[in-house]
Structure formats: structure tokens, C-alpha cells
Amino acid sequence: MSRSSLRPAARPAARPAARVIARTIAGALAGLLAGSLLVGAGPATAGPATAAPAPVPPAVSSARWLSGQLEQHRIRNVEFDFADWGLTIDTYWAMVATGTRPERAARVIETVSDHAREYVSFDGDFFTGPVAKLLLARRVAGLTRTVDEPRLNLRAQLVSQIQPNGRISDTGDVDFSTVLTQSLSVLALVRTGGRVPQQVVDYLVRQQCGPGWFREQLGRRCDVVRDEPYVDSTALAVQALVAARRAGADVPGSVRRAADWLQSVQRRNGSFRSSGGSGLVNSNTTGLAAQAYGAVGLTGPAAKAGEWVATLQLTEQRAGGAVDDLGAIAYDRPTLREARDDGITDGTRDLWRRSTPQAQFALRPVPFTALSAE
């Protein structure tokens, strides 16, 4: 995922794009070890050593940092001063995947649900990404598909947006739906109702190119000359198609080809570029690819991705001037170096809040097919 795509447009100046950065969470690596030895008062006799605190796994450390970023159970965009409900859900997923502060996590999803219409619609138009994302988040929380106040059946709303060709589109004059929103919709429909309409699955499959990758934008059949590979789309599509296949949909060979392609573009150090062979090497794309590996049981490549992402996490040893933000995960190496020198500032905090929950997929690769707070 490109760095610029992590920065939202100011609200309410522009209609919110249906960005799904449906992104969470990844496999336990070696923990941070903190220990202390208390010395007795006698000049020659040492007192009994206290037991070292239990190591904190990196994924838990990042989820705790994210939890600390919540204000009134929501993430508020520092730069543009608005409640970012999509990013709040990402934070919720990170907390669920690691079992971090479950009572606070429950309050988070309740708060988002209380602002459902504000999040999923604008001026009477409904957006596929937010509808699907909140529907899936409520299922992860063990809540119903219907938001009570104001009453809104999220699943029924999503189904009403299915076009005859299987595309799930926004209802407004401008359609912001993408491969990411189509994939998230498949996941939400499967997890809240079992079988997903075959035409919806077929439309997603048509976005896959011959080598196995998925493009970013929706359209007719993929064109390997005109379109370009997009790792984020491929990783989320893998999870959606795994879910659809388990629910009885026909998914002929798409999952294996996509997973094979992901392995072919993973760099030796475990990281990924946002667009396959091009684009920026970053923790977000790497985290989402690791989560896709988790969905298909590729534990080795997932662990390698986690090892690389762990090198971008702020720890006591590498925090420098960002010592107050231990656990946060940088988007890339330049972001980490900047924080070590200057700390995480109001101008950069939003980027860290966006990169951390998605990168955490690499530290604990729990796929959306299995994520649950129940």
C-alpha cells in the first residue's frame, strides 16, 4: 500500500472514499524482555532477586499502543480533527486478535455502531466498504447484523447493493468500490449468513489476472497489459475466496494461484512491495500478505514476514526519541528513522496509527475467516 493512500482526505470537505484497509494482525515472535534485580539494603548481602516480568509479545505490545490512542473509544484524526471510524475498527481488530483489553474493545465496537449511519453513508448514499467493514466487525464482536439506533440491517443493506453482474457498488453517483471492498463484502456476507451469492464470488474471481494476482480497481476481466498487480488486493481476495469456498461457493483454483504469486514476489527479507515488483516496501502490505498466508496455512512465509515487520516496531532498544510510543510499528524505514530522531509528532501520528494495525497482521496472522472476540 502506498504511503499516500494511508492519509485520509479531510472531512467533511469531501465525500468519504470507501477505503478498506480491512487490516489486522499477525504471529507471535520473540517477546520484549524486561527485567530488574532489586538489591537489598545491606552493603555486602544482596537481597532476593525478583522474578522477571513475563515477556510481552510484539503483537500485544502494538495492540496496547493502539488501545492507548483511543479517545472516548474512537480514533480521532489528529491532522483534520474528525472521528475516523474505519481506523477505529482496524484498532478494534488488532485488540481482538491479541486479546488486549477486551472490555475496552467491546466499548469500541459499540461506539462505532452508535455512529453507524455517519460512517456507512453520506447524504443518503451508502458506501460498500464501510457497510461491509462494520458488518464484519459486529460479527467478530458476536453482535447482530442490525444496528439498533438508528435501526439499520447492515447485511440487508449490503445485499441491496449487489448489481446483476455480481459487483457490490456504492449507491451514489460516484462509485468508490474496489477489489478490496468486494473482498471485504464477501467476507462479511459469508460470516453473517453462510452462503454468498455465486455471482458476487464470480465477479471477484474475474478481477484476477493469469499469473494469480488481483488488480486494485474493479472492472471486466483483468488485462495483464493494462492492469498492474496489487499485493493488498490479492491478499484480501485470498481470504475472501477461502471463506466463500468453505461456504460452498465454486472457486476454481483461484486461491492457490494467488497464494503462489504472493510467495513469488515476497522479498528475501520477508517484506513486500505495495505493487508486486514495484511500489514501496512497507509494513502494511507485508502485514496483509502475512494474514493471507495465515488463511491458507503457509506458516513459513508468514513467519518471515513477521520477522521483517518486527524490525520496524518501536522497542526500548530502538525507540530513540519515540520512547513514549513503544509498540507502534512504522510504515517503512524512513518513518522509523524520523521517529527515532524527533519522536512521533502530531503531524506523523496519523500515519503510525494507520500502519500499526495493518502491520500487526505479520506479528499475529489471524485471518478474517477466524477472527473472533467470542
Q: How many CB atoms lie within 10 A of CB 68?
A: 13
Dump pLDDT digits (tens) for 126-159. Answer: 999 999 999 999 999 999 999 987 789 999 999 9
pLDDT at 34 exceeding the cut of 60:
no
pLDDT reported for residue 50:
46
- pLDDT for 48 equals 40
Cβ atoms < 10 Å from Cβ of 44: 5
Listed in order, strand segments (DSSP E) in the chain are: 76-77, 82-83, 121-122, 125-126, 146-147, 152-153, 272-275, 278-282
Q: Are strands 125-126 and 82-83 parallel, antiparallel or unpaired?
A: unpaired
| Residue range 16-28+58-362, CATH number | 1.50.10.20
Mean pLDDT of 66-95: 95
Provide the pLDDT confidence category of residue 2 given band limits of 50, 70 and 90: low
Looking at residue 107, its amino acid is R
Q: What mean pLDDT value characterizes the chain?
A: 87
Cell numbers for 373, please give them.
472476540
Tens digits of residue pLDDT in 200-221 = 999 999 999 989 999 999 998 8
Task: Give the C-alpha distances (Å, rounded to integers) separating 7 from 77, 79, 245.
Answer: 10, 10, 34
The pLDDT of residue 55 is: 57
pLDDT given for residue 59 in this prediction: 96
Distance CA 341, CA 231 (A): 31
Q: Which amino acid is at 43?
A: P
**Span 159-188, pLDDT tens digits:** 999 999 999 999 999 999 999 999 999 999
Per residue in 307-342, pLDDT (tens digit) is 999 999 999 999 999 999 999 999 999 999 999 999
Q: pLDDT value at position 8?
A: 55
| Crossing angle (nearest 10°) for helices 254-265 and 231-246 | 150
Residue 165: CB atoms within 10 A of its CB come to: 12
Q: Are the beta carbons of 227 and 175 closer than 8 angstroms?
A: no
The per-residue pLDDT for range 246-295, each reduced to its tens digit, is 999 999 899 999 999 999 999 999 999 998 777 899 999 999 999 999 99
Percentage, residues of the chain above pLDDT 70: 86
User: CA quadruple 87, 215, 298, 289: dihedral positive or negative?
Assistant: negative
The pLDDT, as a whole number, for residue 35 is: 26
Per residue in 81-133, pLDDT (tens digit) is 899 999 999 999 999 999 999 999 999 999 999 999 999 999 999 999 999 99
- C-beta of residue 307 within 8 angstroms of C-beta of residue 253: no
Res. 9: pLDDT tops 80 = no
DSSP 37-89: -PPPSSSS-PPPPPPPPPPB-HHHHHHHHHHHT-BTTBPEETTTTEE-HHHHH
In a 10 Å sphere around its CB, with 0-12 CB exposed, 13-18 middle and 19+ buried, how is residue 290 labelled?
buried
In the chain, what is the straight-line distance between the N-terminal and C-terminal CA atoms, in Å?
A: 31
Q: Are 194 and 247 in contact (CB under 8 A)?
A: yes
Instruction: Determine the pLDDT at residue 106.
Output: 98
